Structure 1
Amino acid sequence: MFDLSSILVVVSYSLCDVFGLDPNEVDPSITVEGFAIPDPATLADPTAAAYAAYLRSAIPPIDLNYQFRKELVRDIRYWWLTGEGDVLLLWGPTGSGKTSVFEQWCARLGIPLFMAKGHRRFEPHEAFGQFVGGENGTTPWVDGPVTLAARYGLPCIINEYDRIAADRTIVFNDVFEGRSFPIPGKSGEVVTPQPGFRVAITANTNLVEDLSGNYGTANTHDISILERIVALHIGYPDDETETKLLEKELEQFSDDLLTYWLDQEGVKLSTQTGIKEGSAISRGEFIAGLVEVARRIRAQSKDGGNTSDAALERTMSTRILRKWARNTLAMAGTPEKLGLSALHLSLKKYLSSLATESTRIALHQAVESVFGVGERVNP
């Protein structure tokens, strides 16, 4: 195999700089290693250029709006430095950022990442590879993401791992042990993982139980798997982090557009200085209202830990919060043109139309209780 040391050029990054952490809270001298893969156009060797192009394409794209949480960076870094023989389980409610935190970790550090996805009918070839039809009647072997990551000494992530039936995860036992493993379906060929190979998995549950009752397709897993895992719970971000995220998300919308929409929507918002209406509401106060709606919905939801019979089966994930906020201002003309609330229309698009009727009502009540506007705005 081609020597990748000239392609995967190790670089030391400042933790604060690369992840945007506050130097008053995190020592700026703390570093973490990543890669700087050269531009293929600068490489004279065509083989090296091909590998560089391929590996650069495997680096996740950077989300400039992403806000890292220092405690997650701390825990992932610790596993990254010390847990090469352990599997990292990122678990938590839907839309909390389980996959994105690891993707953005790799994106900011220039690290190629290989990905597989779990589901009920998962087959080994989806992770390890298979023979495929080629030219002239040939059937060449194509490595899967886990095999590729092991050969290159790079990380891979298996999403929705708890959707795979427990009796189908046996193929990962040797992989999770960090030792050489046979490739299923390839006549006993064995792969010895190169240094740097790591496995992360994501799940909505801790692989043992579903406390929320929301993930009926999740499976429990054998204790032999659990003993190979380092678990990191990914909950929804705190208010400060989500506020920063929404500030970034809404940067594209001007203050003039925001004040126009606030007036047309007829928003009435309780702020620290009292009730404000329309264009008297600042951008920061509007964002605080969005975060408050998310907080109220989560408090009523199963994913938020509500165990009552009336708990909502849907919640306002961080993913949906971003979409809801962005789409609301993208539809700023809706109140004036149609007499309909952009807040409520956007909520229907991304959340309430995919909920039970009782949950739908509760979701819209949460919006109305914070922003003082119903689904139809006053003419």
Structure 2
Amino acid sequence: MNSVPQEVTTLGYAPSSDPFIPSKDDNYIFRKELIREVTAFLKKPFGDALYVTGPTGSGKTSGITEIAARLSWPVQQITANGRMELADLVGHHALISPKPGEAPIMKFMYGPLATAMKHGQILLINEIDLADPVELSGLNDVLEGRPLVISQNGGEIIKPHPMFRVVVTGNSTGSGDPTGRYQGVMMQNIAAMDRYRFIKVGYAEPATEMDILSRVAPTLNESIREGMVKTANEIRRLFMGESGDDGEIGVTMSTRTLVRWAKLSLQFRGAPNTLKYALEQALLTRSSNEESEAILRISKDVFGEQWR
């Protein structure tokens, strides 16, 4: 993309074989704003954690891991849920055999938070707004830059490494989900949210998504790729509504789903009405009958004679 600079100077690690460095996707398309905001945070967090918000499948997590991969910055990644406890982040005791066949011994196993703090890694918590705010309040001291005290391990104290960072992602901004689109989203504690800086990741521009499809499905006809991108944006418009929270349908076509549709269209190229057949697997089957009919009408209008 012309808007993305060829080089960016920021903080990172020397290349290494650390298994916690995310794998790099050479076909990934970066967005200028995301690079600028994430690298600025990684370089100088100013005592903040980073909250990345946006609709489902917009590239929140992949944006972080792809940047970390190119900076050789190890990542401890976990997906939150309503039953997640602080101990899942800190660690717990477990019976571990030193070698296969030997008698197990009790040993403390460090969780992703303790590991990231100790070794200067990024703690990435996905779907943070699904977590119980009472449990997340246990992170407040850590987000303030204070040491982690592990009472379960004899009061061990872990001081935060200078390269330790906390990044979270969520479909909401911590204020709950008034639209009802994202089941399980909880309103988070306002004092906890005050410890984050926020960036919003929306769906990519049509030109960017065209570039993505040209890389993941290069043999797909360009007019088909253009139709897919246009269809995706029409579906999103129905999902978001005019004001962003009054949508007419309850499903959307994320960039992830768009890529799936393109790949499946190539895989089932010989099927009758390949585009519809692939779209059913990519999106329609999990939609209601009314939503499927609306999406099919959009698809037919966009593709015209190609929809057969």
TM normalised by structure 2 equals 0.92
The alignment partner of 2:12 has SS state of strand
Counterpart contact for 1:298–1:304, Cα < 8 Å: no
Q: What displacement does 1:211 show?
A: 4.5
Give 1:361's match in structure 2, choosing from 293, 299, 304: 293
Which 5+ residue runs of structure 1 have no aligned equivalent? 1-20, 39-52, 259-282, 335-339
Query: Equivalents in 1 of 2:215, 2:96: separation in Å?
Result: 46
Corresponding residue SS for 1:139: strand
1:212 and 1:303 in contact (8 A); partners too: no
Structure 1 residues 29 and 65: alpha-carbon distance in aligned structure 2, compared to 1, 3 A threshold:
closer
Aligned to 1:296: 234
Alignment pair present for 1:320 and 2:282 = no
Residue aligned with 2:179, SS: coil
Q: 1:352 to 1:303 in 2, by over 3 A?
A: farther
Give, in angstroms, the shift of residue 137 of structure 1: 3.6
Aligned to 1:245: 212
Q: Measure the CA separation in 2 of the matches of 1:349 and 1:172.
A: 40
Q: Which residue of 2 aligns with 1:83?
A: 45
C-alpha displacement of 1:373: 5.5
Query: 1:214 pairs with 181, 193, 204, which one?
Result: 181
- Given the alignment, which residue of 259, 266, 282 partners 1:350? 282
Instruction: Output the CA distance in 1 between the equivalents of 2:242 and 2:27.
Output: 24
- Whether the 8 Å CA contact 2:176–2:188 is kept in 1: the answer is no
Task: State the AA in 2 paired with 1:368.
Answer: K
TM-score w.r.t. the length of structure 1 is 0.75
Aligned partner of residue 131 in structure 1, secondary structure? strand
Shift of 1:198: 0.3
After TM superposition, give the deviation of residue 185 of structure 1 in Å: 3.0
Deviations 1:39-88 (A, max 9, x none): xxxxxxxxxxxxxx5xx211111112211000111111221122152110
Which amino acid is 2:204 matched to? P
Q: 1:57 aligns to what SS in structure 2?
A: coil
The one of the two structures with greater contact order (alpha-carbon pairs below 8 A, sep at least 6) is: 2
Deviation at 1:241, TM superposition (A): 1.0
Judge conservation of contact 1:302–1:314 (CA < 8 Å) in 2: no
Structure 1 range deviating more: 325-334 or 77-86: 77-86
Tell me the equivalent position of 2:160: 193
Partner Cα separation in structure 2 for residue 303 and residue 116 of structure 1: 32
Q: Contact conserved, 2:5 with 2:32, CA < 8 A, in 1?
A: no
Match of 1:371 in 2: 303
CA distance in 1, matches of 2:109, 2:242: 42
Mapping 1:94-113, distance limit 5 Å: 94-113=56-75
Over the aligned positions, Cα root-mean-square deviation in angstroms equals 2.1
Q: Structure 1 residues 29 and 346 mapped into 2: Cα distance closer, same or farther (>3 Å)?
A: closer
Partner of 1:276: none
Structure 2 residue 138 is matched with structure 1 residue 171:
yes
One-letter identity of the residue aligned with 1:132: A
- The answer to whether the Cα contact below 8 Å between 2:175 and 2:188 also exists between their aligned partners in 1 is yes
Q: In the superposition, relative to structure 1, how do residues 246 and 374 fare at CA in structure 2: closer, same or farther (>3 Å)?
A: closer
Kept in 2: contact 1:303–1:315 (CA 8 A): no
TM-fit CA distance, 1:28: 5.6
* 68, 75, 91: which one aligns with 1:129: 91
SS in 2 for 1:72: helix
Cα 1:314–1:341 change in 2 (3 A) is same
- The alpha carbon displacement at 1:29 in A equals 6.5
Tell me which residue corresponds to 1:265.
Answer: none
Displacement after TM superposition at 1:191 (Å): 1.1
Pair 240,37 (structure 1): closer, same or farther in 2 beyond 3 Å: same
Report if aligned partners of 2:96, 2:107 keep a CA contact under 8 Å in 1.
yes
Stretch moving more, 58-67 or 177-186: 177-186
1:115·1:145 contact (CA, 8 Å) conserved in 2? Answer: yes
Question: Following TM superposition, by how much is the alpha carbon of 1:125 offset from its aligned partner in structure 2, in angstroms?
Answer: 2.5
| 8 A contact 1:112–1:154 mirrored in 2 | yes
- Asked if structure 2 preserves the Cα contact closer than 8 Å seen for 1:58 and 1:112, the reply is yes
3-state SS of paired residue (1:301): helix
Q: Which residue identity lines up with residue 157 of structure 1 in the other structure?
A: L
> Does residue 129 of structure 2 align to residue 162 of structure 1?
yes
Does the C-alpha gap of structure 1 residues 350 and 87 become closer, same or farther in structure 2, counting only changes over 3 Å?
same
> Unaligned stretches of 5+ in structure 2?
98-102
1:298-333 deviation per Cα after TM superposition (whole angstroms, max 9, x unaligned): 00004885544x611000000000010111111111
Among candidates 12, 36, 45, match of residue 74 of structure 1:
36
Distance 1:169 1:307 in 2: 27
1:233 has 2:175 as partner? no
- Deviation of residue 148 (structure 1)? 0.6
Say if 1:60 and 1:104, in contact at 8 Å, map to a contact too: yes
Secondary structure of the equivalent of 1:210? coil
Q: Any idea what the Cα deviations from partners look like across 1:212-240, whole Å, max 9, x if unmatched?
A: 32013111111111111000111111111
3-state SS of 2:207 partner:
helix
Query: 1:300–1:312: 8 Å Cα contact kept in structure 2?
Result: yes
